[in-house]
Amino acid sequence: MSGTKNVIEVRDLNVYYGKFQALRSINLDIQANRITALIGPSGCGKSTFLRALNRMNDLIEGCRTEGQVLFEGKNIYDPETDLLELRRRVGMVFQRPNPFPLSVAENITYGLRVHGITDREYLEEKLYRSLQAVNLWDELKDRLYENALKLTGEQQQRLCIARLLAVEPEVVLMDEPCSALDPVATARIEDLMYELKKDYTIVIVTHNMQQAARVSDYTGYFLLGDLVEFGETHQIFTSPRDKRTEDYITGRFG
Amino acid sequence: MSLRLKLKPKTEQKIIQVILYSFTSIAVLVLVFILVVILKNGLPQLSLEFLTRNPVDMGREGGILSTIVATIFLTLIALLVATPLGVGTAIFLTEYTTESWITRVIRFGAECLAGIPSIIFGLFGFILFVNKLKFGWSMLSGGLTLAFMVLPTIIRTSEEAIKAVPEAYRLVSFSLGSTRWQMVTRVVLPSALPGIVTGIILSVGRSIGETAAVIFTAGSALRLPTSVFSSARTMSVHFYIMAKEGISMPKAYGTAAVLVISILLINVTTYYLMEKYIRRKK
């Protein structure tokens, strides 16, 4: 697969929770319009890594970050970084579907409103486009003012993705986005990811190795805070260079 | 060694049920008793005239209009001051600081405030608002005193309500690039509203019913109050003076009936409105 440009370049990233070092000197490039999967056993640091990319770790008390994360060439850990703008451009989808207890429409427009957009026509246009992008428009066009908590789990997760797309991010970080969904819904969300990578760069953390193999272009294997191996997905799954990666993907542990 | 009585489990269950049932009934019976006594003696006094005329001859004749007005305004002043202070403190404690000895001291202070007898609040209000700040015996002094009296309740209930808002909402809001304040006002407060309102309703009840703190600070003038600096007599104070000085027991009961009915009405309507609000959110 031919490489595209790097959207995110991680250089010597160390993350600590108090005295515990959660990530050790990580170096990794994330390419535009590709799906990068991060795999590894629980507690290996993959979610920590994901949160380091939009500085969500800042919200965790006692968390300290060293090194650089270059987004479009600029280090996001520079003091002058506009944090709100960064999080708009590098958005996040969480493990559990977590719509606000508001209507479908209010959920979608929430992000736009907090960024100061109030133009009704623009908001309606965005509502339509975002729901369309996650294939929810036809299902929900008559339920726009219903409470989002009434939707099914899959619809909720799609809605959360749409809510994120509404603010026009460039990178979408997904933290085990299918772990609360059944296999059919999971397959459909994976199809969606495939569609989305035309317009977005996606980084997904997953426990599910088949998922990583199915959807991703690149895979990184984390173990105990180290990035053991990173490369094109088919290479990682067919001929891993590191013995530890091989042990993990063949199911010998993890 | 066991204190277990040699009873069949079924019999034991029956006995326990009966005992607990009687305990519960006692609580309910007291409520019923109060309502029956007040309404039986008070309802015959109620008439449109009683509600729309000012007291005449120290309250022996006429109605209780001025005391109703005083109660409403005093309670309003208390809430207008206590709600922003209390909810603001709760937001500060939950969203803008992390748990530390400072938050524990603030919380402990609020708890202590809650335990102080209301007559001491009356004294505090008398010294600070009536004398030092020269508000005199007035609805302002009374309202401010009540505000500080109910503040701990509002802080506590708001804090509990805010803490109960799922952490996920906060994370999502941040991840979409909202500021902390946007997160608080657009997500946290709307979700916590029912709990916060419950605290405010409890405070309304306490404000309306308070007597000791009010006599010391708002005085007991029977005239219809004309400004926040007017001295005024609330329904509770009116009841107290009428009953204690034996001016008119029937009128005192009439006042008590109005007091009790208003508190019941306030409770019922707010719970109804909250129920509707919550259903819309689900």
Please report, for the domain that includes residue A70, its CATH number: 3.40.50.300
First to last CA, chain B: 52
Share of chain A above pLDDT 90, in %: 87
Residue B229 is classified by DSSP as T
- List, in sequence order, every residue forming a beta bridge with A231; answer none if it has no partner: A219
Inter-chain touch B176–A149, beta carbons under 8 Å: no
DSSP B98-162: -SSHHHHHHHHHHHHHHHS-HHHHHHHHIIIIIIIS---SSHHHHHHHHHHHHHHHHHHHHHHHH
Domain boundaries, chain B: 9-45, 49-281
**Is a pLDDT exceeding 60 seen at residue A154?**
yes
Write the single-letter amino acid at A207.
H
> B165 to chain A: which residues are within 8 Å by CB?
none
Instruction: Work out the minimum CA distance from B194 to partner chain A, whole angstroms.
Output: 14
Can you say whether the dihedral through the CA atoms of B78, B79, B81, B87 is positive or negative?
positive
Phi, psi (deg, nearest 5) at residue B268: -65, -45
- List, in sequence order, every residue forming a beta bridge with A11; answer none if it has no partner: A68
Instruction: Work out the minimum CA distance from A4 to partner chain B, whole angstroms.
Output: 26
Inter-chain touch B175–A91, beta carbons under 8 Å: yes
On whether any CB of chain A is under 8 Å from the CB of B280, the answer is yes
- 3-class DSSP assignment, residue A75: strand
Pick the CATH number of B49-281 from 4.10.320.10, 1.25.40.10, 3.40.50.720, 1.10.3720.10: 1.10.3720.10
Do the domain assignments include residue A207? yes
Distance CA B252, CA B223 (A): 17
First to last CA, chain A: 29
Number of domains in chain A: 1
Residue A39 has what pLDDT? 94
> A90 to chain B: which residues are within 8 Å by CB?
none
On whether any CB of chain B is under 8 Å from the CB of A59, the answer is yes
Residue B14 has what pLDDT? 92
- List, in sequence order, every residue forming a beta bridge with B147; answer none if it has no partner: none
Distance CA B276, CA A129 (A): 32
Q: What is the ipTM of this complex?
A: 0.90
| CA trace torsion B172, B177, B181, B182 (10° rounding) | -80
**Is a pLDDT exceeding 50 seen at residue A152?**
yes
**Is a pLDDT exceeding 50 seen at residue B162?**
yes
**Is a pLDDT exceeding 70 seen at residue B24?**
yes
Inter-chain touch B177–A114, beta carbons under 8 Å: yes
On whether any CB of chain A is under 8 Å from the CB of B224, the answer is no
**Domain encompassing residue A19:** 6-100+171-249
Cβ-contact A39, A219 below 8 angstroms = yes
- List, in sequence order, every residue forming a beta bridge with A174; answer none if it has no partner: A93, A204
Distance CA B224, CA B232 (A): 7
| E-strand stretches of chain B | 55-56, 61-62
For B47, other C-beta atoms within 10 Å of its C-beta total 11
- List, in sequence order, every residue forming a beta bridge with A219; answer none if it has no partner: A37, A231
Do the domain assignments include residue A145? no
Residue A54 has what pLDDT? 94
Do the domain assignments include residue A20? yes
Inter-chain touch B172–A94, beta carbons under 8 Å: yes
Digit-coded pLDDT (tens) for A195-204:
999 999 999 9
Indicate the average pLDDT of chain A.
92
Digit-coded pLDDT (tens) for B66-75:
999 999 999 9
Residue A1 has what pLDDT? 47
On whether any CB of chain B is under 8 Å from the CB of A87, the answer is yes
Inter-chain touch B177–A147, beta carbons under 8 Å: no
> A101 to chain B: which residues are within 8 Å by CB?
191, 281-282
Length reported for chain B: 282
Residue B282 has what pLDDT? 62
In 3D space, the residue among B259, B237, B236, B257 whose CA is nearest the CA of residue B46 turns out to be: B257
Cβ-contact B89, B147 below 8 angstroms = no
Of A56, A115, A164, nearest to B174 by CB-CB distance is A56
Inter-chain touch B166–A98, beta carbons under 8 Å: yes
Digit-coded pLDDT (tens) for A32-55:
999 999 999 988 999 999 999 999
